[in-house]
Chain A
């Protein structure tokens, strides 16, 4: 970048911020559409990931079976799964030549939800296993001495770990919201169809539409801060009431 662009960039930066806040303040329709889709894809993906990850994590925490150790290592390792690799795999599965091509889901919000679910499920499952395993160590003898069956034990553990499990879900929300690689590959960043905050920021930045990109960036950062504040607040509240 040429050195003499410095002052101009500073000016651009300030103007971009001003425009960004104007877009947010006026609830720009395009901006809201992108934000809405982002939240919808993220929430559905996290919901599905919780439906899979919570029972999977709880089972890994209390069940003993051959191959459990491998599954535990696998779920922990998959927490750091590169999004572009997930995007590539989902792309290959959903493309016309892939085994699920007949469903015609590529470049749709559903494809993005599938990709994000694959990214978030290991996070929810692994954190759930850790939380439930700790709690199970504490409750195990008590519940067994009371004659509780496996289903009752799992239900008790999930309920008593509920605050911790919400933090696992919120960690998943954070991951899904900030994710760009996988949704870009399987969603295609199509305007009015699969364009979400992160892919939109990438596109608008490359087109020089800094105000729009910055507006989305500000919203994304605010959401991220809110999610983390929620995490911290929830944990503190639960600890204060001895529920964590």
Chain B
């Protein structure tokens, strides 16, 4: 669960960054401050420091086992870090409905598409009389009107992921965490998912996207954090990281080499 109130003041952050004179730095959406997560004594996230900007789409990239999905789960409050802090700087982020998560493999209830959306709205505490209208809006956003009354689990993978995406947007979250949402989807389905992500970002939802694909990062991301072995090894704008990677790990990965 995100922290109710920020505990790291922007001024303190600027001091940490060593600014001699106060500079109007954009406030990050969230700061991961020395986050470590250990399993069986092995650090899967290793003293991870990361500031995620408050707007646009941030991509988390890196090889398998880098800790990208784990970072999303920590941000979603599903996993408590062994050490370190997660500080949400937006005071409006105070409950689970403000931070939504879309899994790589869509998890849909054994119900119709409409019932899946209604159930999410119910959990998010949306009053019953508002749910029908909101479901209609969500179906339109995901272009799912024709599939509304079909069992969700008989849909194609791409359609299922669209349901999962609009369900995540049901309560109008401030942050949307996407864990490789278009993995193993064909190009048309991927384009639909990316369109939904871009649309949400344009509406002011902060997107944190885990992706393996440099192409997707180039199409969607405003900035990129590159992770390797549970640490952030490089951060920057998408163009900087993709075109002129500074770290050995990001250079090797983006150059198509196997990172071991």
Taking Cβ atoms with an 8 Å cutoff, the residues of A that contact B are 138-139, 141-148, 152, 156, 160, 241-244
Q: Which residues 106-137 of B sit at the A interface, judged by CB distance below 8 A?
A: 107, 109-111, 119-120, 123-124
Determine which residue in B1, B78, B110 has the highest number of CB atoms from chain A within 10 A of its CB, and name it: B110
Q: Is the CB of B124 within 8 A of A146?
A: yes
Any A CB within 8 A of the CB of B242: no
Q: Is the CB of B109 within 8 A of A145?
A: no
Q: Is the CB of B151 within 8 A of A156?
A: no
- Would A146 and B120 be within 8 Å (CB), given that A138-B107, A139-B107 are in contact? yes
Residues on B with beta carbons closer than 8 Å to the beta carbon of A156:
109, 119
Any A CB within 8 A of the CB of B77: yes
Q: CB < 8 Å: which of A141, A148, A244 contacts B110?
A: A244
Residue of B nearest to A142 (CB): B107
Q: Is the CB of B107 within 8 A of A147?
A: no
A–B complex contacts, Cβ < 8 Å, 16 sampled: A141-B73, A141-B107, A143-B123, A144-B77, A145-B100, A146-B97, A146-B123, A146-B124, A147-B96, A147-B123, A156-B119, A160-B110, A160-B111, A242-B110, A242-B151, A243-B151
Residues on B with beta carbons closer than 8 Å to the beta carbon of A139:
107, 109
Convert B95-109 into 0s and 1s, putting 1 for each residue whose CB lies closer than 8 angstroms to a CB of A: 111001101000101
Tell me how far the C-beta of B149 lies from the nearest C-beta in chain A, rounded to whole angstroms: 12
Residues on A with beta carbons closer than 8 Å to the beta carbon of B97:
146-147
Residues on A with beta carbons closer than 8 Å to the beta carbon of B163:
none
Q: What's the Cα separation between A68 and B154 when bound, in Å?
A: 35
Tell me how far the C-beta of A164 lies from the nearest C-beta in chain B, rounded to whole angstroms: 10
Convert B64-93 into 0s and 1s, putting 1 for each residue whose CB lies closer than 8 angstroms to a CB of A: 000000000100111000000000000000
Any A CB within 8 A of the CB of B218: no
- Would A241 and B123 be within 8 Å (CB), given that A145-B77, A145-B78, A145-B96 are in contact? no
Tell me how far the C-beta of B209 lies from the nearest C-beta in chain A, rounded to whole angstroms: 16
Tell me how far the C-beta of B211 lies from the nearest C-beta in chain A, rounded to whole angstroms: 19
Q: Is the CB of A141 within 8 A of B78?
A: yes
Q: Is the CB of B76 within 8 A of A145?
A: yes
Q: What's the Cα separation between A182 and B151 when bound, in Å?
A: 44
Residues on B with beta carbons closer than 8 Å to the beta carbon of A243:
110-111, 151, 153
Residues on A with beta carbons closer than 8 Å to the beta carbon of B1:
147
Tell me how far the C-beta of B201 lies from the nearest C-beta in chain A, rounded to whole angstroms: 20
Residues on A with beta carbons closer than 8 Å to the beta carbon of B124:
146-147
Residue of B nearest to A163 (CB): B110
Q: What's the Cα separation between A143 and B124 when bound, in Å?
A: 11
Q: What's the Cα separation between A49 and B109 when bound, in Å?
A: 27
Residues on A with beta carbons closer than 8 Å to the beta carbon of B73:
141
Residues on B with beta carbons closer than 8 Å to the beta carbon of A144:
77-78
Q: Is the CB of B96 within 8 A of A146?
A: yes
Residues on B with beta carbons closer than 8 Å to the beta carbon of A152:
123
Q: CB < 8 Å: which of A141, A147, A160, A241 contacts B109?
A: A160
Tell me how far the C-beta of B185 lies from the nearest C-beta in chain A, rounded to whole angstroms: 19
Residues on B with beta carbons closer than 8 Å to the beta carbon of A241:
151, 154
Q: What's the Cα separation between A160 and B103 when bound, in Å?
A: 20
Q: Is the CB of B153 within 8 A of A242?
A: yes
Q: Is the CB of B103 within 8 A of A141?
A: yes
Q: What's the Cα separation between A138 and B151 when bound, in Å?
A: 17
Tell me how far the C-beta of B125 lies from the nearest C-beta in chain A, rounded to whole angstroms: 9
Residues on B with beta carbons closer than 8 Å to the beta carbon of A244:
110
Residues on A with beta carbons closer than 8 Å to the beta carbon of B107:
138-139, 141-142
Residue of B nearest to A152 (CB): B123
Residue of B nearest to A242 (CB): B153
Q: What's the Cα separation between A152 and B119 when bound, in Å?
A: 10
Q: What's the Cα separation between A128 and B123 when bound, in Å?
A: 23
Residues on A with beta carbons closer than 8 Å to the beta carbon of B78:
141, 144-145
Residue of A nearest to B101 (CB): A145
Q: What's the Cα separation between A144 and B103 when bound, in Å?
A: 13
Q: What's the Cα separation between A141 and B119 when bound, in Å?
A: 15
Q: A143-B123, A160-B111, A242-B151 are in contact. List 10 more A-B contacts (CB 8 A).
A: A142-B103, A144-B78, A145-B77, A145-B96, A145-B100, A146-B97, A242-B110, A242-B152, A242-B154, A244-B110
Convert B1-14 into 0s and 1s, putting 1 for each residue whose CB lies closer than 8 angstroms to a CB of A: 10000000000000
Q: What's the Cα separation between A26 and B153 when bound, in Å?
A: 49
Tell me how far the C-beta of B164 lies from the nearest C-beta in chain A, rounded to whole angstroms: 9
Residue of B nearest to A162 (CB): B110
Determine which residue in A141, A147, A160 has the highest number of CB atoms from chain B within 10 A of its CB, and name it: A147
Convert B148-175 into 0s and 1s, putting 1 for each residue whose CB lies closer than 8 angstroms to a CB of A: 0001111000000000000000000000
Tell me how far the C-beta of B22 lies from the nearest C-beta in chain A, rounded to whole angstroms: 37
Residues on A with beta carbons closer than 8 Å to the beta carbon of B95:
147
Residue of B nearest to A145 (CB): B101
